Structure 1
């Protein structure tokens, strides 16, 4: 474990930062920012527990895109990932890439509060604060490396350790690329402008900062970087309140049905069952969905089925593809393929872009012996969820069962690479090399080897 964590540290700080920060007189150009941002993004996506539910990701990404339309020209594509972590936090990196924690999405009481955080981080990106600070500082901070090292080694391989690792990465990134007082004030003010132009309630930014501050008092934890740096938290909340009062902006914070659904998915899937059930005490579509998912996690089949049947009987609950998707997943996992296919087909008709629907639909088709159709949807899943080890593993097993051994070993190699099980990865890589005969297979081999080099810095 220690060797793997040390390697991970080196891959982030030496592989990412060294080529760009050690040139004492070099300019941190857009090209260099793009190269560094790409590497950092790939490391984040391959090492941290990303939320893979397209409904959650789509909600957050659409919000970011809406805010970005209110911003001036920015040379990079804006991208955002949601990391599975209960903390109320988010951070911007480089070249248009930001990360938001699932805890932030789960704990807000309105869309505008989440938009307030995302607008602040977007302002850090559009003003290129991180890039400018790299250019200004030139040197990698040894303290930040030690912070990350301590976090990972203490955390170990446990779920708590993963959470600590995530926090350490964000903390080390903050220590390495500290925002100045002017950076933070600028991100607040410009982010507030983005918020207003995009049609969100600007009081959302004030309210979410208050929530983060309260969360710190309750948990004894630290504030995220954009609240922990100068100016002080109270001062920052104060000047935002003063600005809105001068403009006579009234607060009308609301929670959309989209946010209610996303929070239902996060709470039912990623909290402990006991905590999750605390949220679902009524008989609304969201309560029934939440209870169905939680009881399925607990293997309480009859209880889960009861709530999914009730969900399927309420007309208002049938308007969203996600309800059919979750019902279909449940029936697939418990072997009722006809009901699984029926519900997954309904979900697919309502939203053909949902990668989880495609994934379980493909698996159900494969179980039914519809091999060509299953393969088609598996390939679509791989495009949408390339960095999902579970998808590669299931696809690899699928091809192995049908004696397509090159593809079987190829996807099992990806699965183990993404799980950082390098010994097993190399076993399947060796098989891929032996089986690669055609030009297309050799291109797939080259792509696999390139991913290995980039994810492990093994040049």
Structure 2
């Protein structure tokens, strides 16, 4: 059901994109950089509004590190790039106007190494730098509306089911030959640019080909075409073309992993069902039998075990990984988290302190250490940890709550109420937020900076509430 809903969302957003294109420039004579930026931002906002952008700091940092590494090999684009992960199991990636690059979580789990993932990102950067959507728009005087819609739908939709039907319907109404011609021309240029970026960044040249071969294999085994192949046509021709490029221009070997920890990153990608989690468990179990001293395999296996509720077994495998790699911050952190979860805060604190000693700037470690301090009664140290993250952890919806708890334990009720107010305001719980903000006012001088901030927050909440109540009901 969830996958079907996500497919429907893709169709919806592709059609929104199509409508926005015409709204942005009805004459379709020229699609400017400003148009690209505006449209790309609107599309991103729609995805975020419908909670289709995955909020995971570690995953997003990883994708951005790869993306920014590849960008060092490109000419300066007229816009800032933004890399995001779409919460969809469909194996796909796409670039929208204005430098917005989207990677589906399903593609991350399908790739076999970092180089393959980097190859996909490089390809999408190629699309963006070549301004392919702008090119379609500027050439669109030669196209009818249905054909243009087919190109746009093909560029941005995930495949399968209704998405495929939508593309087919559009194509039948227009000129499918011209649509395919445009898309194949763009794919070839994006491949040519992408492989140059990829090799320049230090990755092995065949990474893009290897990923396409995985997609072809999935197509054969599942008897259905992966959405990446639907939206990136001409696969066999692309493989042949890139093979020739590698033979003639890119003889160097390159690396499969540069940023590192690809297997650990993959395991952080949320799976949609318990069946998928169990499948991952079985795969890792078999891999460990062949390579029982592999720290990354031990780490990822323990991570999956913990997700499946096998906490004791997970702890055993984490401890084995730690014995092989005593300075592994991820392992130390996750052991600490297990002890914290099982009510052994003193042990958790010890492991988390060791992890923090290796890298004090790791937000996840700092947050977990703050919770351990809170559980062991070290309230000031807990507060210090949480306040460090107040501005850094934009994706952590819980940080204001933890700060409020720490202030409360320190008997600083004004600050505690204030941060509870911030927490509930962010949660859109108006009455709870107002209660805490109004209570907080009792603890601060009337014209103090904090009091003024609280009064403004109350005003914003109350004004917003009145405006909402005054809106006429929709017919």
Tell me the residue number matched to 2:351.
343
Shift of 1:443: 5.6
TM-score if structure 2 supplies the norm length?
A: 0.72
* Residue 363 of structure 2 corresponds to residue 352 of structure 1: no
Q: Secondary structure at the match of 1:63?
A: helix
Q: Deviations over 1:241-283 (max 9, x none)?
A: 1222233726566456522332354499995145324314223
Which of 285, 294, 305 does residue 284 from structure 1 map onto? 294
Correspondence 1:207-356 to 2 at 5 A = 207-224=210-227, 227-229=229-231, 232-247=234-249, 249=251, 254-255=256-257, 257-266=260-269, 271-280=276-285, 281=288, 282-314=292-324, 317-356=325-364
* Residue 25 of structure 2 corresponds to residue 21 of structure 1: no
Tell me the residue number matched to 1:125.
128
Q: Distance in 2 between matches of 1:204 and 1:325?
A: 32
Shift of 1:134: 5.2
Shift of 1:30: 3.0
* Residue 446 of structure 2 corresponds to residue 441 of structure 1: no
Q: Which runs of 5+ in 1 are unaligned?
A: 152-162, 418-424, 453-457
Q: Secondary structure at the match of 1:236?
A: helix
Q: Secondary structure at the match of 1:364?
A: helix
Tell me the residue number matched to 1:116.
119
Aligned length: 420
Structure number with greater CO (CA < 8 Å, separation at least 6) is 1
Tell me the residue number matched to 2:417.
405
Partners of 1:409 and 1:428 within 8 A in 2: yes
Q: Secondary structure at the match of 1:299?
A: coil
Partners of 2:420 and 2:433 within 8 A in 1: no
Tell me the residue number matched to 2:202.
199
Change (3 A) 1:430 1:134: farther
Shift of 1:99: 1.8
Shift of 1:304: 2.4
Shift of 1:202: 1.4
Q: Distance in 2 between matches of 1:446 and 1:233?
A: 57
Shift of 1:436: 8.5
Q: Distance in 2 between matches of 1:255 and 1:104?
A: 17
TM-score if structure 1 supplies the norm length?
A: 0.74
Q: Over aligned residues, Cα RMSD in angstroms? A: 4.6
Shift of 1:21: 3.0
Q: Distance in 2 between matches of 1:141 and 1:32?
A: 21
Q: Distance in 2 between matches of 1:203 and 1:389?
A: 41
Q: Distance in 1 between matches of 2:122 and 2:407?
A: 44
Change (3 A) 1:360 1:303: same
Q: Distance in 1 between matches of 2:425 and 2:226?
A: 39
Change (3 A) 1:259 1:447: farther
Q: Distance in 2 between matches of 1:229 and 1:370?
A: 54
Q: Deviations over 1:304-343 (max 9, x none)?
A: 22222223322xx233321222111111111111221222
Which of 342, 366, 382 does residue 374 from structure 2 map onto? 366
Structure 1: which 4+ aligned runs deviate by more than 6 Å? Answer: 8-11, 13-17, 138-144, 175-179, 267-270, 396-402, 445-452
Shift of 1:292: 2.4
Shift of 1:191: 0.9
Q: Which moved more, 1:321-330 or 1:35-44?
A: 35-44
Which of 46, 50, 63 does residue 54 from structure 2 map onto? 50
Q: Distance in 1 between matches of 2:463 and 2:239?
A: 47
Change (3 A) 1:94 1:328: farther
Flag the structure with larger Rg: 2
Q: Deviations over 1:167-205 (max 9, x none)?
A: 969x99xx8999633222211111111112222211111
Q: Distance in 2 between matches of 1:355 and 1:361?
A: 10
Q: Which runs of 5+ in 2 are unaligned?
A: 172-178, 442-450, 466-470
